[in-house]
Amino acid sequence: MGARRFNTRDDSTNNWWVALLTGGEGWHNNHHAHPASATHGMAWWEIDFNYWGIRLLALLGLARNIKVMRPRPSRHLATVEPVQASGHTSRR
């Protein structure tokens, strides 16, 4: 039960009410499509409280090199890039 934003090799789905109850873990299809991303919420309306906690840890200097999926406008392709605590991507 849920939506599939990304075509993955499994049957994972996104479920908004599970995400609301679990702090963002209900965006399961997003996670299976981009497992290295710290955030599972890929759209502005996909609330991910767990990622906010990770960002807070980064602002406190307790987390570094956080990888976040950046969606491309077409075909749900994405890249994963490290994000600094300030929210800017860091490229090496």
What are the boundaries of each domain within the chain? Answer: 16-83
For the chain, the average pLDDT equals 80
Closest CA to 40 of 27, 22, 59: 27
Q: What angle do CA 13, 71, 3 make, to 5 degrees?
A: 15
Query: 2 falls in which pLDDT band (50, 70, 90)?
Result: confident
Query: 31 falls in which pLDDT band (50, 70, 90)?
Result: confident
